[in-house]
Chains A and B, each alone.
Chain A
Amino acid sequence: QITLKEPGPTLVKPTETLTLTCTFSGVSLSSSGVGVGWIRQPPGKALEWLALIYGDDVKRYRPSLRSRLTITKDTSKNQVVLTMINMDPVDTATYYCVHRRGNYYFDSWGPGSLVTVSS
């Protein structure tokens, strides 16, 4: 069974950098077919995929946010880190860590982490 966990609620100020660490178990991010990534949901809005990293270190980013996002992995710690620079209040959302399987879908989700951007 795959489990993923994001940090607790986070408050960041506008223009600051957000760093989120996902810790997972039940899967090893060391093979090319395995992927772990991030999806967010602003209040009252739809799900929005952000980034994904594969076991072979290939990375995919949401095109509209590519310049602000960086995703990395630490295979030895079973962790994936998402960094988003220049945060804005519109980035306020619940951020989910997810496991990608098979034909491009997400079969396991973390409980979510509320990120609030406010001065």
Chain B
Amino acid sequence: QSVLTQPPSVSGAPGQRVTISCTGSSSNIGAGYNVHWYQHLPGTAPKLLIYDNNNRPSGVPDRFSGSKSGTSASLAISGLQAEDEADYYCQSYDTSLSGRFYVFGTGTTVAVL
């Protein structure tokens, strides 16, 4: 099961700002591992949106931003556009008694009203 918790859905009107939270624990985000974010449009492969907490790959609009604090992280989308309707996933790394493994969040669907 996922060890990173996200809200199931968020929504906003065009032009508004929405944020998505990602809550982890002391064995992943709280242990200092970076958080990364992916955008997943139906029928396509997920796309890296933010890496290392707050960095955007080339081609990702600066409307997307990330932050991390303690055992949580957030993705913010400002100036919401219709094309931003998608599922968003956070991801980090976990080290526990079970071993070392990559973890994803539960996913958040963004709806543009």
Contacts and interface: CB of A to CB of B under 8 A. Distances in A.
Given A46-B104, A49-B101, A52-B102, A105 B34 contact: yes
A60 interface: yes
Contacts of B46: 47, 96, 109
B34 A103 contact: yes
B2 interface: yes
Contact of A63 (B38, B99, B105): B99
Residue of A48, A66, A103 with most chain B CB atoms under a 10 A cut-off = A103
Interface in A50-81: 52, 60-63, 66
A49 B99 contact: no
Nearest to B1: A64
Interface residues on B, range: 20 to 34
B105 to A, nearest CB: 7
> Interface size class for chain A?
20 to 34
B33 A104 contact: yes
Interface string B1-16: 0100000000000000
A53 to B, nearest CB: 13
Contacts of A39: 104
A96 to B, nearest CB: 6
Interface stretch (B18-26, B75-83, B86-94): B86-94
A110 B45 contact: yes
A96 B89 CA distance: 15
Nearest to B48: A107
16 contacts: A39-B104, A46-B2, A47-B91, A47-B107, A48-B2, A49-B103, A52-B102, A61-B99, A103-B34, A103-B51, A104-B34, A105-B48, A106-B36, A106-B38, A109-B46, A112-B45
Given A107-B57, A111-B44, 16 more contacts: A46-B105, A48-B2, A49-B102, A60-B100, A63-B98, A63-B99, A63-B101, A66-B99, A96-B45, A102-B52, A104-B33, A104-B34, A104-B93, A106-B38, A107-B51, A111-B45
Interface of A: 39, 46-49, 52, 60-63, 66, 96, 102-107, 109-112
